[in-house]
Every structure is written in structure tokens, then in C-alpha cells.
Amino acid sequence: QKEVEQNSGPLSVPEGAIASLNCTYSDRGSQSFFWYRQYSGKSPELIMSIYSNGDKEDGRFTAQLNKASQYVSLLIRDSQPSDSATYLCAVNPTGNQFYFGTGTSLTVIP
Amino acid sequence: GAGVSQSPRYKVAKRGQDVALRCDPISGHVSLFWYQQALGQGPEFLTYFQNEAQLDKSGLPSDRFFAERPEGSVSTLKIQRTQQEDSAVYLCASSTSNEKLFFGSGTQLSVL
């Protein structure tokens, strides 16, 4: 079992819709959770971090964490074509390693 | 520069050749990570340094892979006797607090 599991997609949504990306993790002791965005041919860049159960909002992005279910999600409201990318979920269980999922490919259709 | 710098950007090696990949982290960043990213996959952890100390090398796939950071700044990932399965993008990331990773542009290694 991989440390972090994501649906690889591809996920397609129309412009203006809400995109929902999901991630589960295996280490119940994990404390830090991250969403990275990776454009094709580019390196990952951090868009959200979350440490406590519940929701965290930043502009059009909302991260949701449920530690009991070992589940992290990312919602993108009012999706734009520029949001088309691969979204990587990452978990930091020990402070020394960041485990990444395989990523979910998102396409926003104009 | 202000970001993480990796070189070379592209490397083509013949099978069996040794390669060395360089990472220059953001100045002052204590933590340095190496990841391997195959096409269509997420980054896979290789190794982690805190200053010059290699605290975790559990992700290195074989003894052909070796990493060092002798002065706690620049790091080199060396792959000996390259194999075709080593073909991937090698990403370096640095961090101050192990909370936010700043990635370099990566080195795309192709082993023929």
C-alpha cells in the first residue's frame, strides 16, 4: 500500500465549475498535509497546507482534512483554464519525508 | 539566484555511464531533499539532508545511487552504471522548516 493514494484522473470540469480532488493516506500519525500544483514540464509548487481537521480557505482554494478518515481534499471554486495542471497531495508524517501521491490531472474546459 | 538551481537541465547517458546531478538550494535552507519523478507519476522520495548530515537515505533504489552535501549547501546526486530504469526527472527541493518545499526545475535524465 502506498503512503498516499490519489485518483489519477483525468478530471475534466467546465470553466466556472467546482473541481474536487481527493487523497487518502496510510500513516495515521501524520500531522502535515499539502497540495502542490504541477504544470506540465514544470516543478511542483505549493498551493495549500493544512494541519488541523476541518476546512482551510485561501482564495478560490479550500483544503479539507479529516484525520479520522485519513482523507484530504482540495476544492477549486470558479475553475479557470489556468488551473489545468496535475495536483499532487503530499503528507509529512515524520518531519523528514514528504510522501507524494501520483497526482490528479485536471483539465478546465473553456 | 533566489530559487533552487539544478544542473544540468537535461542529461543523456549511455547505459553503464556514471552521472552527477547538482543542486544548489536556496541560501540558508537547512533541509534538502532529492526526489525521482517518472513520467506520469508523483515524486518519489530518495534522500534527505539536514545541513551536511544525510539523515534519511531510505528511498535510494540501489547502491548505485549516492548523494552528498559536504558543506551543507550544494548537493550532488551521483548514479553509477546507469540503467534504462533510471530514466526520470530528478527533483531537488530545499526548505527551512520542513513545512514548505521549494523545488528546482529538475534534471531530466535519459539513459539510452
User: How far lies A51's CA from each of A5, A25, A30, B52, B100, in Å?
Assistant: 18, 14, 9, 29, 13
A10: pLDDT strictly greater than 60: yes
A99 touches B: beta carbon within 8 Å: yes
Average pLDDT rounded to a whole number, residues A23-38: 93
Give ∠ CA A42-A52-A83 in degrees, rounded to 5. 30
CA distance A37 to A88: 6
Q: Are B35 and B89 contacting, i.e. CB atoms less than 8 angstroms apart?
A: no
What pLDDT sits at residue B96? 86
- Restricting to A residues 44-83, those with a Cβ less than 8 Å away from any Cβ of B are 44-46, 49
| Best CA proximity match to B48, nearest among B60, B36, B33 | B33
Q: What residue spans of chain B are helical by DSSP H?
A: none
A31 touches B: beta carbon within 8 Å: no
Pairing state of beta strands B10-13 and B107-111?
parallel
Which residues in chain B have their CB less than 8 angstroms from residue A96's CB? 48, 55-56, 98
Chain B residue with minimum CA distance to A41: B105
At B40-88, the pLDDT tens digits run 899 999 999 999 999 999 999 999 999 999 999 999 999 999 999 999 9
Handedness of CA A66, A24, A80, B90 (dihedral sign): positive
How many residues make up chain A in this entry?
A: 110
Instruction: Collapse the DSSP code of B17 into the 3-class scheme (helix H, G, I; strand E, B; otherwise coil) and give the result.
Output: coil
Please give the residue that has the higher pLDDT: either A77 or B2: A77
Q: Do A102 and B44 touch (CB under 8 A)?
A: no
CA distance A1 to A25: 10
Instruction: Classify residue A10 by burial, with Cβ atoms within 10 Å: 0-12, 13-18, 19+.
Output: exposed
At A76-105, the pLDDT tens digits run 999 999 999 999 999 988 767 889 999 999
Which residue in this structure is represented by grid cell 500519525? A29
